[in-house]
Structure 1
Amino acid sequence: MTTAIFPMAGLSFEVDYGDLNATNAYDSDGLSMTYAITAGASEGATGTVSFEWRSLPGGAYAISWQEADGATVTHIDDFEGQRSLSFYTTPDLQFYRLEGSLKPFAS
């Protein structure tokens, strides 16, 4: 795990994958984030999780966490280019690959 503070700590972002929209609010500690599903089949789901991140070549970030129900999520987020890839495995082992926009969220 990296010891640097996540560069997006204290900021919130909206992801739009078409059939699923969410907000991700990174806590100022750079160690936890709160997600909220705002549209789609899981609308209303929310949680606060610990996450890990790594910077990637080209300025993108790999961000991963595990939700309370056991679901696992990995994002490849390009904050500057405003694009997000998400790889999500549900507790019953369904696997999803999502791609969409990523933009700052004004709360």
Structure 2
Amino acid sequence: MKNNLTGNRYVMDVGVLKTELYFETDTSMVFTILEGGGLTKNGYTEKVETTIAEIRPQVYMVAWKEKSGATVTHVEDHENGIIYSNATLADGSFYTMKGTIHLLQDRNLKP
């Protein structure tokens, strides 16, 4: 089932971490670390298989597992530009973050 994220690029900024999210297909996303904040290296990119559930129009729950074993779940509120991110790293550390998410194609925004 096609979702409204597919084909779009977004910038997620949760303060300590700034990432570009490219929803390549309905089930895959490529993320690129723009600013890793000490959590990961700037410029790191990875393609991941995603599960995307539409909670209501313009609000999605997106989940994936990374090569490192880290798991990530987002609630992305595109109507209000808010993202909630939970990540469990391979070492067991757990992070909860809240920040902004914006469509990268918007010419008024900079990554």
TM-score, normalised to structure 1, is: 0.89
User: Does 2:32 correspond to 1:36?
Assistant: yes
2:82 matched residue in structure 1: 83
For residue 46 of structure 1, report the CA deviation from its aligned partner. 1.5
Q: Distance in 2 between matches of 1:64 and 1:89?
A: 12
State the 1:50 CA deviation: 0.6
1:31-74 deviations in Å (ceiling 9; x for gaps): 11100111121123210011001111464111000001110000
CA–CA distance in structure 2, aligned partners of residues 9 and 57 of structure 1: 16
Q: Distance in 2 between matches of 1:94 and 1:74?
A: 14
1:89 and 1:65 map into 2 onto residues whose CA distance is 11
Structure 1 stretches of 4+ moved >3 Å: none
Match of 1:8 in 2: 5
Structure 2, gaps ≥5 residues long: 106-110
Q: How many residues align?
A: 103
The residue identity in structure 1 corresponding to 2:84 is: L
Computed over aligned residues only, the root mean square deviation of the Cα atoms, in angstroms, reads 1.5
SS at match of 1:56: strand
* 2-structure distance, mates of 1:58, 1:85: 17
- Identity of counterpart residues, as a percentage? 27
For structure 1, list consecutive stretches of 5 or more residues without a partner in the other structure: none
Quote the Cα distance in structure 1 between the aligned partners of 2:87 and 2:13: 15
Alignment-derived partner of residue 14 in structure 2: 17
TM-score, normalization by structure 2: 0.86
